[in-house]
Amino acid sequence: MRDLDITEVAQQSGVPASTLRFYEEKGLIASIGRRGLRRLFDPGVLERLALIALGRAAGFSLDEIALMFAADGQPRIDRQMLAAKAKELDRTIRQLSAMRDGLRHAAACRAPSHMECPTFRRILRAAASGTIGARIKRAPQPPRN
C-alpha cells in the first residue's frame, strides 16, 4: 500500500487535516515526507489514529497517549496504566448509572414538584455530599456538526 497524503488520511480516518497537523506537532503521529509542501504518511498512521481515538474514548489525554508510544514508534502500553484507567472508568460508570436512575425516576415521578419527591431529595443529598464542589469531567459527546 502506498503512502497517503494528508487529505487521504483525513478522508480514510475521518480526522480533519487540521487535527492531523496538530497531532503531528504534538508528536502523536509522524509524516514520512513531503510531496512539495504536502505531507505524506505511511498507511500505518491509520492504525495509530485508531489507537489515539481508542485512548481518547477511554479518557486518556493526548499527553498521556503520547507517552504510550515509545521512542521507536511502537505502542508500549503499560498494563498497570490500563488497569488503573479501567478502575477509574468503572467508578465513573457506577456514578453515571446512579445518576441515570435518578433522572429516570425524576422524569417518571408523579410528585407535583421534584422537591416533594423523596427519591429526588435523596439524590439531591447524595449530590450535595459527594459531588458538590467536585470537578467534573464529561463523558463522550456527539460531534459538533
Q: Directed axis angle between helix 79-108 and helix 118-126, to 10°? A: 150
* Among 12, 14, 18, 81, interactor with DNA by CB under 7 A: 18
Cell 500500500 belongs to 1
* Among 47, 50, 61, 76, interactor with DNA by CB under 7 A: 61
Smallest separation, CB 104 to DNA (Å): 22
- Using CB under 8 A as the binding rule, the residues of this chain from 103 to 132 that contact a second copy are 103-104, 106-108, 113-115, 123-125, 127-128, 131-132
66 SS3 class: helix
What is the identity of the amino acid at 67?
L
Q: Is 41 in the site for a second copy (CB under 8 A)?
A: no
Alpha helices in 6-117 (DSSP H): 6-13, 17-26, 45-57, 62-67, 79-108
Q: Which CB, 25 or 72, lies closer to DNA?
A: 25
Query: H-helix or E-strand containing 35?
Result: strand 33-35
Smallest separation, CB 72 to DNA (Å): 23
Provide the 8-state DSSP code for 69. Answer: B
| C-alpha cell read off for 71 | 521512542
* Among 83, 111, 116, 122, interactor with a second copy by CB under 8 A: 83
Q: Which CB, 38 or 94, lies closer to DNA?
A: 38
CA atoms 48, 50, 56, 60: torsion sign: negative
Q: Which CB, 38 or 94, lies closer to a second copy?
A: 94
- Using CB under 7 A as the binding rule, the residues of this chain from 114 to 143 that contact DNA are 135-136
